[in-house]
Amino acid sequence: MERTLAIIKPDAVSASRTGKIVAHLEAAGLSIRAIRMLRLTETQARAFYAVHAGRPFFASLVRFMTSGAVIPMVLEGAGAVARLRQVIGATDPAEAAEGTIRKLYAESKERNAIHASDSPETAAREVAFFFPTETLVATSD
Ligand code: GDP
């Protein structure tokens, strides 16, 4: 079993799409092992997206990610990192495959409903960013 990090972004939380997105993830074989809701500070958002610090959209991305509540969660399943990336679809909803979360719920390339870690190494770092080890529920099997 593998773990990865998803974040339901402010556009989807404020549009009350959380339930539909969680149902979609669970139906795709990803189980929630930890979940919380918070509003990111600017410092947290800049740190989380530090890899994009030089990009032209960075300031706008930080503004968006701090504009309202977000819901980070740890998801577990076989090949969870790749599975979650497959289920969310391409960054730009215009390019996302039919039936993916971003195709269904994203508003734009920036306001795209959900974040997913892009590799096992990133997942380990991003899970630790939001969840201290002791808050993670042990796997039952
Ligand atoms: P992801 O891994 O599919 O989330 O995509 P990236 O890691 O490349 O980008 C991180 C986030 O930055 C995306 O999910 C979008 O919210 C935002 N983003 C990416 N590319 C663009 C862009 O060209 N313009 C804007 N405004 N936002 C972008």
Residue 57, in any domain of the structure = no
Q: Which atom of ligand 1 is nearest to the CA of 88?
A: 3
Residues in the chain: 141
Residue 59, in any domain of the structure = no
Number of folded domains in the chain? Answer: 1
Report phi then psi at 58, rounded to 5: -60, -50
So what's the pLDDT on residue 141? 52
Residue 65, in any domain of the structure = no
Pocket test for ligand 1, best of 13, 66, 91, 114 (most atoms within 8 A of CB): 91
Q: Take atom 6 of ligand 1 and give the residue whose Cα is closest.
A: 91
The candidate with the shortest Cα–Cα distance to 79, out of 116, 134, 24, is 116
pLDDT in tens, the chain (141 residues): 999 999 999 999 999 999 999 999 999 999 999 999 999 999 999 999 999 999 999 999 999 999 999 999 999 999 999 999 999 999 999 999 999 999 999 999 999 999 999 999 999 999 999 998 877 777 655
Domain that holds residue 23: 2-38+70-135
So what's the pLDDT on residue 139? 65
Q: Name the catalytic one among 115, 116, 117, 126.
A: 115
Residue 107, in any domain of the structure = yes
115 is catalytic: yes
Q: Tell me, what CATH number does 9's domain have?
A: 3.30.70.141
Residue 126, in any domain of the structure = yes
- Does the model's pTM come out above 0.85? yes
- Rounded CA-CA distance 75/28 in Å is 11
Residue 52, in any domain of the structure = no
Residue 106, in any domain of the structure = yes
The letter for the amino acid at 97 is: A
- Rounded CA-CA distance 2/56 in Å is 33
Residue 98, in any domain of the structure = yes
So what's the pLDDT on residue 133? 81
The tally of CA atoms less than 13 A away on the side-chain side of residue 92 is 2
